[in-house]
């Protein structure tokens, strides 16, 4: 035997993991990671939806604020139906928000006021709008 050769001996013990144990552990890990990924996807969808509702409410409130600077006698000019807007409130045919404004003179609540109702719907997915509009209303006194 040469001096550079070493005597290597292998011991066959039962230490380590079997293939079945590794497969079961991999399956459990897959289920856990799948659940985490599913939760992250759902959270992202919810965040997108909440952002759209918030933007729609801002667009509606801004419309009410714009009405306040008009002369009381000119408020009826603020009526509009399904004006398509982008997220900044600019009229845009590619926008994902639709705003309708209704001006009611001699409001039923107070006949000496004008009621302004703004409804905004938004796209929840391409080609599908929200089923319930975001509605903001206000009374403006003469």
Mean pLDDT by 10 residues, the chain (142 residues): 59 76 94 96 92 94 91 88 94 93 86 91 88 92 78
Nearest CA to 118 out of 89, 81, 71, 73 is that of 81
Q: What is the pLDDT of residue 33?
A: 96
Q: What is the pLDDT of residue 83?
A: 94
Q: What is the pLDDT of residue 108?
A: 82
Q: What is the pLDDT of residue 69?
A: 87
Q: What is the pLDDT of residue 73?
A: 84
Measured between alpha carbons, how far is 138 from 85 in angstroms, rounded to an integer? 21
Cβ–Cβ under 8 Å, residues 54 and 112: no
């Amino acid at each position: 035997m040469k001096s550079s050769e070493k005597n290597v001996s292998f011991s066959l013990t039962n230490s380590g993991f079997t293939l079945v144990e590794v497969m079961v552990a991999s399956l459990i890990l897959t289920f856990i990671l799948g659940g985490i990924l599913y939760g992250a996807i759902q959270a992202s969808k919810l965040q997108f939806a909440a952002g759209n509702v918030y933007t729609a409410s801002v667009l509606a409130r801004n419309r009410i604020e714009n009405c306040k600077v008009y002369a009381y006698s000119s408020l009826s000019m603020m009526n509009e139906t399904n004006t398509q807007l982008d997220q900044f409130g600019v009229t845009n045919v590619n926008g994902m928000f639709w705003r309708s404004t209704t001006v009611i003179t001699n409001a039923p609540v107070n006949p000496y006021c004008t009621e302004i109702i703004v409804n905004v719907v938004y796209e929840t997915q391409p080609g599908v709008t929200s089923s319930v509009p975001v509605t903001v209303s206000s009374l403006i006194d003469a």
